[in-house]
């Protein structure tokens, strides 16, 4: 009984949070990754108000308002200019906002954990049918129920809510009938953010407040919106109850599996109800991922222009061969790591920039490759070939599973699903202590031994490692380059440009997307398999979904429209990152701001603008 009450309490927090996420997704088509960050911001504001004014109840009033207004500001300044573009740009923007918000929190409140003093009225507990029930839980449940009632009232009974519904059904006509659609979009985002803030207030009663604890909430609310359906509060409420109860009861009775259970549920629901229990499809205009940039850009989009010529590619490899002679040891080491992550980013971008699919699940595949090769080297064999082969099989298998589960859904759902699977994978790695070492991970991974016929080479020194990685990455790059030059690569470009038309040429789009996902997965797995023995350790964080953000960042900075772009972006990212970390502890703020700036103002990235410059130079 007490567990059921706990589950209900958790469910109601999740409901308030997910309802906000759902409003933002349903009315604006924006998948708000910063929703968790807004939630934790709400908790911090509650903390601040309780501390300074000494009254939690004022916090309950002020925090949602502050977060709501902050949300409106975000929508007005950052999101509004992006609606014309492919929806991944709004996702990336909210991704950048997470970093910024975390550091703003750190600047204001420091990085130690905070707790809110529960007001006297809510502290203590009472006994009901022999069970001890905390008053705070009852309060949270009450607020959840009132929120549900309030939302029902707003959307079913008030003109404001009905107008929002009308706008979400037909923006163009609503605009032509005299409704200021843009302004109401800001209000809708504000309402969604307000709910995130309110959830934060509730959370502050139960949680230790620290940036990062919101991640779990964000993932749960993604699952809830997918299960309940976009645009349906009824669905959100029901799904919140299911997820909340399952996670608490599961945590008690099946602690290792509690999170996995949620995702099993997610898979079952998606198979039974592809649009969620009560949802509708999100209307999406098809806009290609790669932005149009005038006449020069059109010439640039031709296939040949997406790649370095064979000669320049070989030149880059030659440069990398001689680089260790000129570089200090530390940089040789760093450059090896950069090459591994360049491969990760380039194979990610085969999906993103070349096929138009934004996946947040790549870290899982990377992690699968890294963990498998580590376990093989530690427990089974020192032979690199065997360990590598096993690692490829497992990481490809993970890619096949995520691909099969996610590929059938339209683009925003695809992002949410890959994200959910990434989190599931993370929780398995994290919880499966006996095999993976849990949070501590695996260390002391032995150096791999390469066997060629009768000779054996042990990859021991950093320099040996460098050249080993260079050879493997270069081979992978040339294979990917060949694939992107093939008829199959042409089909991927066609899907990016116009999936409907591709189907009308007799090509089943989903099949090709799936193959692309698996190919990208194979090379991501290779990157993982290279990384672990090189670093000597691997921990659960390597497969955390936020790691999937890195290749996105790298691709975007380097340029998503060229094959080499993400590689250039990786180099740039590392140099920039190490510089920023050396000058400020608030590196997330700086990196987040750079990501936001790139998304808003320079979406073509370094190689994109370089190509543009060269082409306009050639044509003049």
Partner 1 sequence: MEILRIQDVTMSFGKMNALHEVNCAVEPHELLAVIGPNGAGKTTFFNVITGKYKPSRGQVFFKGERIDGLSRPQIINKGIGRSFQVVNLFPDLTVAANVRIGVLAHQKQTLRLFKNVDKMAEVDQEVERILDLVHLGDEAGVVATTLSHGDQKCLEMGMALTNHPALLLLDEPTAGMGPEETRQSIELIKDVWRKTGVTIVFTEHDLDMVFNISTRVLVLQSGKLIADGSVKDIRNNPRVKEAYLGEEA
Partner 2 sequence: MNELEVRDINSYYGKSHILFGVSLDVAQGQVVGLIGRNGAGKSTTLKSIIGLVPPRQGSITYQGRNICGLPSHRIAKLGVGFVPEDRRVFSDLTVLDNLEIMKQVNPRGEGQWSVERIFDLFPKLAQLKDNRGMDLSGGEQQMVTIARTLMINPSVLLLDEPTEGLAPLIVREIKRLIQEVRKTTTILLAEQNLRFVLDLIDYGYVIDQGKVVLQGTAAELDADEHAKQKYLGV
Nearer to partner 1 by Cβ, of 508 and 536: the residue is 508
Nearer to partner 1 by Cβ, of 140 and 290: the residue is 290
Q: Which does 6 bind (CB under 5 to 8 A by kind): partner 1, partner 2, none?
A: none
One of 117, 176, 254, 457 touching partner 2 (CB under 8 A): 176
Part in contact with partner 1 (CB under 8 A); list of ranges 122-130, 321-329, 500-508, 549-557: 500-508
Nearer to partner 1 by Cβ, of 271 and 482: the residue is 482
Q: How far is the CB of 604 from partner 1 (least distance, A)?
A: 13
**120 lies in the binding site for partner 1 (CB under 8 A):** no
Radius of gyration of the chain (CA): 25
- Judged by CB under 8 A, the chain residues 177 through 216 that form the site for partner 2 are 177-181
Nearer to partner 1 by Cβ, of 40 and 290: the residue is 290
Q: Which two tokens stand for residue 321?
A: 């061969």
Query: If residue 452 lies in a helix (H) or strand (E), which one and from where to where?
Result: strand 449-452
Q: How far is the CB of 593 from partner 1 (least distance, A)?
A: 30
Query: Phi and psi of 124, rounded to 5°?
Result: 85, -175
Part in contact with partner 2 (CB under 8 A); list of ranges 86-94, 155-163, 238-246, 409-417: 155-163
**183 lies in the binding site for partner 1 (CB under 8 A):** no
CA distance 607 to 264: 41
| Adjacent-strand bridge partners of 24 | none
Part in contact with partner 1 (CB under 8 A); list of ranges 90-98, 180-188, 302-310, 337-345: 302-310
**249 lies in the binding site for partner 2 (CB under 8 A):** no
CA distance 415 to 23: 18
Q: Is 81 helix (H, G, I), strand (E, B) or coil?
A: helix
**314 lies in the binding site for partner 2 (CB under 8 A):** no
Task: Indicate if the alpha-carbon torsion angle 39, 30, 221, 435 is positive or negative.
Answer: negative
**334 lies in the binding site for partner 2 (CB under 8 A):** no
Nearer to partner 2 by Cβ, of 175 and 433: the residue is 175
**511 lies in the binding site for partner 2 (CB under 8 A):** no
Between CA 144 and CA 180, with CA 96 as vertex, the angle to 5 degrees is 65
One of 81, 503, 578, 609 touching partner 1 (CB under 8 A): 503
Strands 125-128 and 449-452, sheet pairing: unpaired
Helical ranges in 303-445 per DSSP H: 310-326, 329-355, 362-375, 384-406, 411-431, 433-436
**504 lies in the binding site for partner 1 (CB under 8 A):** yes
Cα–Cα separations (whole angstroms), residue 352 to 357, 559, 562: 5, 11, 11
Q: How far is the CB of 304 from partner 2 (least distance, A)?
A: 25
**212 lies in the binding site for partner 1 (CB under 8 A):** no
- Applying CB under 8 A, the site for partner 2 has a residue count of 17
- Residues 561, 435: contact at Cβ < 8 Å? no
Q: Where are the beta strands (DSSP E) in 64-155?
A: 125-128, 131-134
Q: How far is the CB of 73 from partner 2 (least distance, A)?
A: 22
- Residues 519, 316: contact at Cβ < 8 Å? no
Part in contact with partner 2 (CB under 8 A); list of ranges 162-170, 211-219, 385-393, 495-503: 162-170
Q: How far is the CB of 175 from partner 2 (least distance, A)?
A: 5
Query: Phi and psi of 275, rounded to 5°?
Result: -105, 20
Q: How far is the CB of 483 from partner 1 (least distance, A)?
A: 5
Mark residues 217-246: x for contact with partner 2 by CB under 8 A, - for none: ------------------------------
Mark residues 519-548: x for contact with partner 1 by CB under 8 A, - for none: x-----------------------------
DSSP state of 541: G
* Contacting residues for 398 by C-beta, under 8 A, at least 6 apart: 364, 365, 368, 425, 521, 525
**486 lies in the binding site for partner 1 (CB under 8 A):** yes
**482 lies in the binding site for partner 1 (CB under 8 A):** yes
CA distance 440 to 532: 14
> How far is Cα of residue 205 from the mean position of the Cα atoms in its chain?
28
Q: Which does 133 bind (CB under 5 to 8 A by kind): partner 1, partner 2, none?
A: none
Q: How far is the CB of 298 from partner 1 (least distance, A)?
A: 4
- Applying CB under 8 A, the site for partner 1 has a residue count of 36
Q: Is 477 helix (H, G, I), strand (E, B) or coil?
A: helix
Q: How far is the CB of 439 from partner 1 (least distance, A)?
A: 39
Nearer to partner 2 by Cβ, of 278 and 366: the residue is 278
- Residues 528, 543: contact at Cβ < 8 Å? no
CA distance 246 to 595: 37
**163 lies in the binding site for partner 2 (CB under 8 A):** yes
Cα–Cα separations (whole angstroms), residue 546 to 421, 423, 466: 13, 10, 27
CA distance 86 to 89: 6
**286 lies in the binding site for partner 2 (CB under 8 A):** no
| Cβ neighbours, 10 Å, residue 253 | 10
Site residues, partner 1 (CB under 8 A):
288, 290, 292, 295, 298-299, 301-304, 482-483, 485-491, 493-494, 497-498, 500-509, 512, 515, 519
Site residues, partner 2 (CB under 8 A):
159, 162-163, 165-166, 169-170, 172-181
């Amino acid at each position: 009984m007490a567990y059921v009450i706990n589950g209900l309490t958790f469910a109601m927090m999740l409901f308030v949070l997910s309802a906000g996420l759902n409003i933002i997704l349903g009315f604006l088509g924006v998948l708000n990754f910063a929703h968790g960050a807004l939630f934790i911001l709400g908790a911090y504001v509650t903390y601040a108000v309780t501390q300074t004014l000494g009254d939690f109840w004022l916090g309950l009033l002020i925090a949602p308002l502050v977060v709501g207004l902050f949300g409106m500001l975000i929508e007005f300044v950052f999101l509004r200019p992006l609606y014309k573009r492919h929806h991944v740009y709004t996702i990336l923007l909210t991704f950048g906002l997470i970093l910024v918000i975390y550091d703003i929190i750190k600047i204001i409140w420091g990085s130690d954990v905070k707790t809110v003093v529960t007001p006297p009225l809510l502290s203590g507990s009472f006994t009901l049918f022999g069970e001890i029930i905390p008053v705070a839980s009852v309060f949270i449940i009450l607020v959840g129920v009132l929120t549900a009632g309030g939302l029902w009232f707003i959307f079913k009974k008030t003109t404001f809510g009905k107008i929002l519904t009308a706008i979400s059904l037909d923006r163009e006509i609503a605009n032509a009938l005299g409704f200021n659609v843009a302004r109401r979009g800001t209000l809708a985002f504000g309402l969604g953010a307000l709910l995130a803030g309110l959830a934060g207030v509730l959370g502050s009663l139960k949680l230790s407040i620290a940036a990062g604890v919101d991640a779990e909430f964000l993932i749960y609310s993604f699952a809830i919106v997918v299960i309940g359906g976009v645009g349906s509060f009824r669905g959100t409420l029901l799904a919140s109850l299911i997820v909340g109860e399952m996670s608490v009861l599961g945590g008690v009775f099946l602690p290792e599996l509690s999170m996995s259970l949620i995702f099993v549920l997610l898979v079952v629901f998606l198979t039974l109800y592809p649009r969620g229990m009560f949802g509708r499809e999100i209307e999406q205009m098809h806009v290609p991922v790669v932005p149009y940039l005038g006449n020069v850009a059109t010439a640039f989009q031709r296939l040949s222009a997406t790649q370095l010529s064979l000669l320049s590619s070989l030149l880059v490899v030659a440069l990398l061969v001689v680089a260790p002679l000129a570089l200090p040891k530390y940089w040789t080491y760093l450059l090896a790591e950069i090459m591994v992550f360049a491969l990760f980013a380039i194979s990610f971008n085969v999906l993103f920039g070349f096929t138009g699919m934004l996946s947040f699940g790549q870290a899982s595949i990377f992690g699968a490759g890294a963990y498998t090769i580590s376990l093989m080297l530690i427990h089974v064999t020192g032979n690199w070939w065997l360990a590598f082969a096993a690692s490829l099989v497992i990481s490809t298998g993970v890619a096949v599973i995520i691909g099969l589960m996610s590929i059938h859904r339209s683009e925003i759902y695809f992002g949410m699903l890959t994200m959910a699977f990434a989190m599931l994978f993370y929780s398995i790695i994290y919880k499966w202590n006996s095999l993976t070492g849990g949070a501590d991970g695996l260390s002391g991974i032995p150096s791999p031994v390469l066997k060629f016929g009768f000779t054996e080479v042990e990859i021991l020194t950093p320099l040996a490692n460098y050249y080993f990685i260079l050879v493997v990455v270069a081979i992978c790059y040339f294979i990917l380059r060949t694939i992107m030059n093939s008829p199959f690569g042409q089909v991927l470009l066609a899907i990016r440009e116009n999936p409907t038309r591709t189907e009308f040429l007799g090509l089943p789009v989903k099949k090709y997307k799936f193959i692309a996902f698996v190919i990208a997965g194979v090379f991501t797995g290779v990157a993982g398999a290279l990384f672990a023995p090189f670093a000597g350790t691997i921990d659960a964080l390597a497969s955390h979904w936020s790691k999937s953000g890195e290749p996105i960042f790298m691709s975007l900075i380097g340029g998503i429209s060229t094959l080499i772009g993400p590689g250039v972006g990786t180099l740039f990212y590392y140099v920039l990152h190490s510089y920023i970390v050396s000058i400020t502890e608030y590196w997330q703020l700086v990196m987040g701001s750079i990501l936001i700036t790139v998304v808003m103002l320079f979406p073509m990235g370094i190689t994109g603008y370089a190509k543009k410059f060269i082409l306009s130079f050639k044509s003049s």
